[in-house]
Structure 1
Amino acid sequence: MGKVKIGIDVGGTFTHAVAIDAIGLEILSKVCVPTTHRAKEGVVKGVIESLEKVVKNGNISTDDIILVAHSTTQATNALLEGDVVPVGIIGLGKGFEVGRIKRETRVGKIKLSSNKYIETYHRFINTDKGLSEEEVKAAIDELIGKGAKVIVASEAYGVDDPQNEEKVVDIATQMGILATAASHISKLYGLRIRTKTAVVNACILPKMLETAEIIDRCVQKLGIKAPLMVMRSDGGVMSIEEMKKRPILTILSGPAAGIAAALMYVRVSNGVFIEVGGTSTDISVIKNGRPILKNAEVGGQRLYTRTLSINTVGVAGGSMPRIKGKKIIDVGPRSAHIAGMKYSSFIKVPDKVEIKPFFISPVAGDPDDYFAYRIKEDDEYFCTFTPTDAANCLCLIPEGKYGYGLVKSVRAIASSIAKLLDVDIVNFCKRILDIVSEKIVRCVNNLVGESELEKEFLTLVGGGGGAYSIVPYVAEKMRAPYRIAENPEVVSAIGAALGMVKDSIERTIVNPSKDDILKMRSEVLKSVVEMGASPESVEFFFEIDKQTRRVTVTAIGSTELHMDNGNERVLSDYELRRIVASTIGIPESSILVSGETDFLKVFTGSRRKKVFFSIFCIEEKISCVIDTKGIVRLQLKDAVVDQVSAGEVLDKVSDLIERLVVYGDVGIQLPGIFL
């Protein structure tokens, strides 16, 4: 057996694990265990169980394993449930701004939800005369005495010179107390938000350290010597050691694994990825081969950490219908899994069956109109009728695909329920799927509008165990093309296994110079290499926002196997042209190469587009940048494409600005320029 990567995804209902061939991406073994929310160890118990089983079932030698990566819901759950510790803040500052610094580092209680908070205690040290060890120890003792379990050091302009923050962390560590430097969590100016971000990170440190140590011991016990990685909320992976320092980066780690799979396994360039689980559906946009990012929020408060823009809708393949009288009034958010119910698709019944219906409140405080039934009065198990059952009843799930059930049995059950509601089977099932699809379509349309993704290029890509149950129906409602990922039920676990080591550095710089950019590049390269990335595989992405003066440098690299390994075959011009043609909707014969480098090609084609109520037609030119592996990196309408040598770039940029700048009543509109 060759080199093996193992990915584990912790979902709301199930924890999936896969072992894949690192070269050919062939699945060698896959397992599914219930997510262990209620276990003493939390969801980590399911992670360990799935890891042990996937290795055993695949008869995999631990010597062949080169990577183990898992997503985690521990950070998210801790914040949602208020399973956090009080945090002591040591504010540091000097000079005439001392008053402001005191106020901005004293953040008070941080709201997590309607009745959950992070408790904070504050102590300020004036550093006009330096920072003594005695002062720091006294401040730490005072904060611990008040109830703090973790210390945060936050200094004005600490991002420029973190020595004092690091000194506080070192002293706290020597005293046996966990501590975080705010400048290690974010390099952005904005003392109050940076302090809050560090506090959120600190409040989950003990829980995440406990989790990391349990998984670490399990991996060692199994004899696995490969690096253990954790999924980040921005779609990359990081080492377990880095997770111990910055657990805040794992918020939304679970859904991020699905995006990683969409990019690296399904190869989505432009589209909407819809991952349908048993309880909820995660929806995200991929544009020009990259996911949309946003600032994380906790309790409605913005933090200085980036997450993928993922919207979660409370409907999925296992959602339960709610019925009032003889009308289905809603579907979800509770699911069969939460209520301990069986799906109708997977129980065998006679061709004619009469059910015994009843209604429940799955969780305390829920409405009491969730529909359930028994087949017989003395049945030991209860059932419900889910969107998966409706899709099976309407023969929408292809035979042999994940979610396909006992069609004759589910139709017999549907007939019995429909009779109670005085409707036919088709309308009964369509009503369930219509309610589900309306919620998903609304979310998709909002995301597409926000991201300015061209609707004419929109493709829906389905993943998750409920993909075949819901995505085709949603696509039909939207009149949009769709495709379902291979092995959809374990696509997020595959994403964890294929996740790239990733890190970003953000700074506030008024006029960034070449030296500023190179310094940030060196810092982020060092970070991803320390986390396990192969230096020669690292790619960099630079973003400069002149309005906010924010400079972001992102580094992405692969672990051990390079990005140009056997599964990353360079495609021919013919293959690339076919991909571009299907992406932009122009015949292959009308597409020409308008520029190229060793790694990228620009294809341009024209088409006629109807406008003004389809009365007139206009010529529309579309340019598409695609890499040699087949990933579309950029898509533009009516763009000017020029190819020059590196030495001519500055002159060409000046020329393009002069040619394409637009002068109007509201000022100058500069052209967008992509190199």
Structure 2
Amino acid sequence: MVEHQDVSAPARLRVGIDVGGTFTDAVAIDAATLQLVGQAKTPTSHDHPDGVAHGIVTALHQLLDQVGRSARDVVFLAHGTTQATNALLEGDVAPVGLIGIGTGASAVFTKRLAGLRTIEIAPGKHLPVEYAHLRDPHDAAAIGGVLDRFDAAGIRSVVVSEPFSVDVAEGEDLVADAARSRGFLVTAGHEISSLYGLSKRTRTAVLNAVILPRMFATADLVADSIARAGITAPLMVMRCDGGVMSLDEMRRRPLLTVLSGPAAGVAGALMQEKVTDGVFLETGGTSTDISVIRNGRVAVQYTEFGGSSTFLSALDVRAVGVGGGSMVRADLGARSVVGVGPRSAHIAGLPYACFASADDLTGARLSTVAPVPGDPSDYLVLDGPGGRFALTLTCAANALGLVGEQDYARADQEVAALALTPVAEALGLSVRDAAQRVLATGTEPVLDVVRALIKDYRLPEDQVVLVGGGGGAAAVTPFAGHVGELEWRIADHAEVISPIGVALALIREQVERVIPGATDEQILGVRREAEQAVIAQGADPHEVSVDVTVDPQSHTVRAVASGATELRTQDRSSRLSDDDLHRLAARSLRVPPEEAQVLASTAAHRVYGARRRRPWWRLGGGPEHPVRVLDLDGVVRFASPDARVEQGTVGDGTAMLPRAVADLTSYGDGGSRAPALRLLVGPRISDLSGVLDESSLIALARSELEGRDRREDLVAVLERRA
């Protein structure tokens, strides 16, 4: 029975829209309970005069009509788009005028930037860069001459780059202001990255500039269309690191939307499924994108384009050419399955055999084809009364009964078994064994990547969970989980996990500075800059969390701030009892319930621990004290094999934190190393584990407590470093 909400108090909605290559999907999320209340799908409007903006608004109207709500009920609206990614992959970009500034020795380095035009971003297509050199940024006549030249060439997007502009930006600013005053779209190197490295910083700025005109126009169309639809909520755009940014930021740095497609899916897994340590498999019809969640955060890295590195931090996603529609390949003479994919039924223009009717497949004949001219002719198809059908990974998963009743990829198991029967006969196997052979072959490359990611990110294997998303999730994740002996689950509403991720994503901003011998005040300054950046984009100041890392080798100070546009609290009635939380903690700790203890708590979290003998191969002696931090939904937000927990209040923190940090600071030939510290205060877990200096760590910890009620609960979880 469906309980109807009080119409006098309609639910506020968070709306997420994912613009794909074929379809635009929209979802509505109840802003209070974070539950899915509606979804809509419409063809992506590439060819419309308003471009993808038309499809966004069409999907929005369909969604609101379906859930019986109006534009005024929308309190948050965000969209993700593949437009920037596709533009770079296809080489469909605008020409850029690159102005290098420098005299003397620095001119040698800036003139080398002209070589950026040799970077191939798509087959046969290079970065369209027109280089101009400027000796003196104060020379207005010279600047005007360069801009006249660009204007005559039809160039509307300009990059300005000068050595060491991250320290002194005056030269870049002077030239950038002159170009903007004449109507050019401008990207200054220091605005894209504050890290040293002229070539990499300029390369990143040029990649931003080549997509700037198109993305700027799209931003205007989307904003105008949303305004005409009556939406007054802040409009956000998905970033490539799993967060969202304001439309104004997208106009300035559209490059941050590149590779945001996979980021939306893993953001959905992170926010909806509340994964702490896991691997997310987003499976479509043709491929599976594989990404990592570590300690409740998505894993990001600097990305490359055209074989050249950049300062763009994007999701670390590894794509495997195996999806739900991947066709089975076999050597029928040798009675062996030789592969699954990379060609999919969609590309071959064939329907899946498991979605046919039994009558369509009665007496079907098995044969092999080349789906596209030039392909190997070993892809299996069935020719029956209903036509030609592709044999896919989804067919095998359904034949084995691995696809749940509510899964998007669900087909009649008897029909799927009927489709696999000719294959089984040709291989000399039972239908079940044939289906297992197909799935083992198809999921093997996926498991290879999963195992590599677990190793690369040192995920705790006893905590790792595989989470499947995308329309083809059930074709890959269940079997991979069974074979890999890993805990697994299919995400709720897996087929729309990407727009769910867009709807639930937090505003995110990253600030990086190279500061040799950074002082406490300089580190706090970088932290404040990141915090203010997300607040300026609409984040609730009380809900902003900032993680700070100080790399002593590269002297890089990095602050990553995230926050919601409004306080998002789930319905308290849906949360677990203390007994349930205790049971879940004991299971995670791998101890009997009577051995799990509550060590500390706040209004939002419970901290559990146990005591066990340290394995002989681990140094240090004495027992271990494993710790688990759970939220009130029972999700393990942080796990440690050995940690110390301190409970107090914000008022106690001034004395408690320095004492605890001093107790656990390690000393050696390389100097001192402060413990890894995480603070639980209010609804947040502040991760300060990236700071090794004791003084800086205490200064940052104190900054996390500024402005909070001195009576508020405070918990510190500390891990001694080796």
Q: C-alpha separation between the residues in 1 aligned to 2:43 and 2:251? A: 26
Partner of 2:545: 539
The TM-score with structure 1 as length reference comes to 0.90
Partner of 2:661: 653
The TM-score with structure 2 as length reference comes to 0.84
Give the CA deviation at 1:352: 6.7
2:39 aligned with 1:22 = no
Give the CA deviation at 1:606: 3.2
Give the CA deviation at 1:464: 1.8
Partner of 1:223: 230
Partner of 1:3: 12
2:241 aligned with 1:237 = no
**1:358-377 alignment to 2 at 5 Å?**
359-363=368-372, 365-376=374-385
2:479 aligned with 1:470 = no
Q: C-alpha separation between the residues in 1 aligned to 2:134 and 2:604? A: 53
One-letter amino acid matched to 1:504: Q
Q: 1:343 to 1:217 in 2, by over 3 A?
A: farther
Q: C-alpha separation between the residues in 2 aligned to 1:38 and 1:372? A: 34
Gaps of 5+ in 2: 1-9, 679-722
Per-residue CA deviation, residues 437-469 of structure 1 (Å, 9 max, x unaligned), is 101110000000000112122221222222222
Q: C-alpha separation between the residues in 2 aligned to 1:21 and 1:357? A: 49
Q: C-alpha separation between the residues in 1 aligned to 2:348 and 2:447? A: 26
Per-residue CA deviation, residues 34-91 of structure 1 (Å, 9 max, x unaligned), is 5567888776665444333222222221110112212211111111111112221111
Asked whether the equivalents of residues 459 and 480 of structure 1 are also in contact (C-alpha less than 8 Å), the reply is yes
One-letter amino acid matched to 1:185: I
Q: C-alpha separation between the residues in 2 aligned to 1:240 and 1:487? A: 28
Does the residue aligned with 1:68 lie in a helix, a strand or coil? strand
Q: C-alpha separation between the residues in 2 aligned to 1:37 and 1:353? A: 41
Gaps of 5+ in 1: none
2:387 aligned with 1:384 = no
Q: C-alpha separation between the residues in 1 aligned to 2:572 and 2:346? A: 37
One-letter amino acid matched to 1:345: C
One-letter amino acid matched to 1:604: G
Q: 1:141 to 1:580 in 2, by over 3 A?
A: farther
Asked whether the equivalents of residues 324 and 393 of structure 2 are also in contact (C-alpha less than 8 Å), the reply is yes
Does the residue aligned with 2:230 lie in a helix, a strand or coil? coil
2:603 aligned with 1:589 = no
Asked whether the equivalents of residues 661 and 674 of structure 2 are also in contact (C-alpha less than 8 Å), the reply is no
Per-residue CA deviation, residues 283-309 of structure 1 (Å, 9 max, x unaligned), is 112121112121121122211121121
Partner of 1:580: 585
Q: C-alpha separation between the residues in 2 aligned to 1:351 and 1:570? A: 48
Partner of 2:266: 259
Partner of 2:501: 495
Moved more, 172-181 or 542-551: 172-181
**1:63-82 alignment to 2 at 5 Å?**
63-82=72-91
Partner of 1:396: 402
Partner of 2:687: none
Give the CA deviation at 1:140: 2.1
Asked whether the equivalents of residues 122 and 143 of structure 1 are also in contact (C-alpha less than 8 Å), the reply is no
2:163 aligned with 1:156 = yes
Does the residue aligned with 2:676 lie in a helix, a strand or coil? coil
2:92 aligned with 1:92 = no
Partner of 1:284: 291
Asked whether the equivalents of residues 526 and 557 of structure 2 are also in contact (C-alpha less than 8 Å), the reply is no
Q: C-alpha separation between the residues in 2 aligned to 1:362 and 1:244? A: 42
How many aligned positions are there? 660
Partner of 2:628: 624
Partner of 1:329: 338
Asked whether the equivalents of residues 355 and 417 of structure 1 are also in contact (C-alpha less than 8 Å), the reply is no
Partner of 2:685: none
Asked whether the equivalents of residues 105 and 192 of structure 1 are also in contact (C-alpha less than 8 Å), the reply is no
One-letter amino acid matched to 2:37: L
Q: C-alpha separation between the residues in 2 aligned to 1:46 and 1:85? A: 24
Structure with larger RCO (C-alpha < 8 A, sep 6+): 1
Give the CA deviation at 1:338: 2.7
Partner of 1:192: 199
Percent identity reads 37
One-letter amino acid matched to 1:624: R
Q: CA RMSD in A?
A: 3.0
Asked whether the equivalents of residues 27 and 499 of structure 2 are also in contact (C-alpha less than 8 Å), the reply is yes
2:195 aligned with 1:166 = no
2:450 aligned with 1:447 = no
Q: C-alpha separation between the residues in 1 aligned to 2:114 and 2:124? A: 23
One-letter amino acid matched to 2:268: A
Partner of 2:710: none
Q: 1:618 to 1:49 in 2, by over 3 A?
A: farther
Give the CA deviation at 1:266: 0.6
